[in-house]
Structure 1
Amino acid sequence: MYVWTFKPRSGYLRQLTSVDDHCDRQHCKNETGPRCSLTTNGSLVLHDVGLYDAGQYTVTTYHVRRTKDTMDTFILHVLDAITQPVVRLLCLPDGRPVVSCWSEKGTNVSTSIIANGEEITPEGGTSLFNVTSSAPWNISCSISNKVSQKTISVHYSMCPVPLSEPHIEVSCLLDGSVEISCRIDNGSEPSFSWFVNGNITKSSSTWKVRDNVISGSSIVTMNVSCSAKNTISSVHSPVTAVSCPASELYHMARKIVLYFLYNALLISLMRDGICNQGNP
């Protein structure tokens, strides 16, 4: 008889399948990984292999008297496929530009970076690659392992500068509407997103969104915040309670206008009455 066992990289040894003296098979239990089956000659076949299937597979044969005969062990290494690379250009305090490139997933990867047609080398012992050419930079990063390869190309016209924390500025208009600005003191090429009461906000009948400025009605108090990001940083402002009820000046202006309209109407009515009295 013979028995197949499996020991993952971290976990306990367990039996996968076996064939007894009468050639009766105990098949793989495929409710959990690794999923497997036996061939007619007793070989183990793995299906839908993933990272969790990596480990030590052992087949042991026994004599009829149940004494161990042979034992062979196989180590399975599983490589994770590479996802789309991410490239970042940074400027060191001394002004030198460096590039970093990585993949969120992937095992045993190698990285190659070309800047302005020239392959660049990593800074000793780090994952940062020195850029020796002058701006602008056309950068291509290729990451590969034995099962996959991904390449990405990006263009930089300058060294990006990290963004400082944004802050909200509120301007209340006479009619009770509001204009809100998202201000950043430092940083390059930011793009902005707006959140009202925790929900992302885009241009609509309620709000007009223009990059780092939104405007709309704010009769009731709302919680407003903004976020900004560029190629090397992402920041978020504190939440600000915003409310712009119609101002006293607005109410006073309305009263003055109504007063003049009322008096103009009254004078008109009085003139009509006088004219009617003079014409029998």
Structure 2
Amino acid sequence: MPPHFHLCFLLFFCLDQGFSAQLEQGNVSVYAALGGQAEFILHVIPSGCSHTGRRCSEYEWRKQDNTKIANFKEQNWTCVNVYKHKCKGYENGSLQLSNISTEDSGYYFVDLYNTTGTLVAKLWFLLQIQDPISEPKVNYSCLKNGTIQFSCSVQNGTDPVYSWAIEGMSPVDNCIYTQNGTCTISITSQLMPREVKCTVKNQISTNFSRSIIASCPDPVSEPKVNYSCLKNGTILQLSCSVQSGTDPEYSWTIEGMSPMDNCTYSQNGTCTISIASQLMPREVTCTVKNQISMNVSHSINASCPETSTSALAPTLASSELPSIISTVDNRTMSLDNRTMPKNINTSWTDSHCLQKCIMKSAIWGSVVLLVTSLALILGCLYTMPKE
């Protein structure tokens, strides 16, 4: 018989007999553990039972299939059938069953009679068998969006109800249930550990998980890449850094080649590498990752300007200016920079040396020409016939 039909019947019966009863007594759920005890307590004593108001004269208990359970009349308390050794009655007509089995679940009815044998009340109870809650198990995982996901589950327990206590705060019960019945919540990750405890209960038992300390690394932010050209113009220096992220790991990809991770780290955690500069731009990306996340920088085209020979000379040569060698008339002249002022202009020195060499060559040429001409004149005079 449906529960709502029983409730309507009870309301009608109460109004007709002129006594008041607690409506909850007409459809009370009783919970019991398998192998435990179940008590069907009568809180209502109809006024029609006895002028003393203490109790009715007779109580007749049966199950929904009309199986008789017990009959309590005056001082005679009798349990019958399979309930003979698991039934106990109380003075006010309440019933106790022990060693509960799954077959005991269902509706139980009791008829109350007064001293004249008139039925004055009809009440019923619903017995539900539940397994006690086992110890909850809590796990957590760190998500890429910077949150911690907690899951709580029990191996045994009928109709478990979950709640969470985070760092001693009031329990929260906004679970998201998975298909296997696991209760999951997500909270924002913090740098400090989070103490978490899960509580699970049902109608017959309550159990608590062990406290766990949960902490997650911060996800890495978008990497920033910079580059610079060294003075000699042959080395390109690349640096990569992130604003946030726990234990970042860096790697580089240059023109689509395999990643390289031979970083040199600075005190502020910046990863720096140096590569040979080329005239063509170099496409570079930096990848940063940690345990929970990965992020890739925007691609940049890195190149260094070509440096002229004169500009490279002070960097590539020694600290002393090079010696300039000049040969004039089988004599060697050395313009050593150690005899020159430190701020001398090299191009001006070369031009000045050339001018001096030309001038000396012209003088010596003129001398040679004069001597040769004189010798020719003297030879001619010496060979002329005398008169």
TM-score normalized with structure 1 length:
0.39
Which structure is richer in relative contact order (CA contacts within 8 A, separation 6 or more)?
1
Greater share of residues in helix: 2
Q: Which has the larger radius of gyration?
A: 2
Greater share of residues in strand: 1
